[in-house]
Amino acid sequence: LRLVFEEGLESCYARHQLNHRALKAGLAALGIKYAAQEGHQLPMLNAVHIPEGIDDMTIRKALLDRFGIEIGGGLGAFKGKVWRIGLMGYGARKNNVLLVLSALEQLLAEQGMKFEHGSSVAAANAVYA
């Protein structure tokens, strides 16, 4: 609460919204869609569909082991179908958004997914510009 008070509630909210929009733009550039409908998405917890042909655990384990990034898997009916990418509190930062997008690009390419390399980071940076 002290950190929110120091930053200011409105600034904190704006930072979370900005980073959510940047992450969303980057994921869209990779063809990754959100699980929740527009208007029902949380900027702090981004639930996205796992691309077809991509193994959930392979990507999540590599993100953690190789990049130190932990994202959640789907729960219940969404197990193996969605990833939950948190942008909460201090973690809602530009460098974290760009890191997760870069790491995902590398790992998805290794899994054979086709997309324009660098497109996710470029899309996120366009939001930040």
pLDDT at 123: 98
| Count of other CB atoms within 10 angstroms of residue 115 | 15
DSSP assignment of 54-111 equals --HHHHHHHHHHHH----EEP-GGGTTTEEEEE--GGG--HHHHHHHHHHHHHHHHHT
Q: Which percentage of the chain shows pLDDT scores above 70?
A: 100
Distance of CA 84 to the CA centre of its chain: 8
CB 85 within 8 A of CB 100: yes
pLDDT for the residue numbered 61:
98
Residues of the chain with pLDDT under 70: none
pLDDT of residue 17: 94
113 and 51 Cβ atoms separated by less than 8 Å = yes
3-state secondary structure 1-69: CHHHHHHCHHHHHHHHHHHHHHHHHHHHHCCCCECCCCCCCCCCEEEEECCCCCCHHHHHHHHHHHHCC
Is the pTM higher than 0.75?
Answer: yes
Q: What is the pLDDT of residue 47?
A: 95
What's residue 48's pLDDT? 97
pLDDT value at residue 104: 98
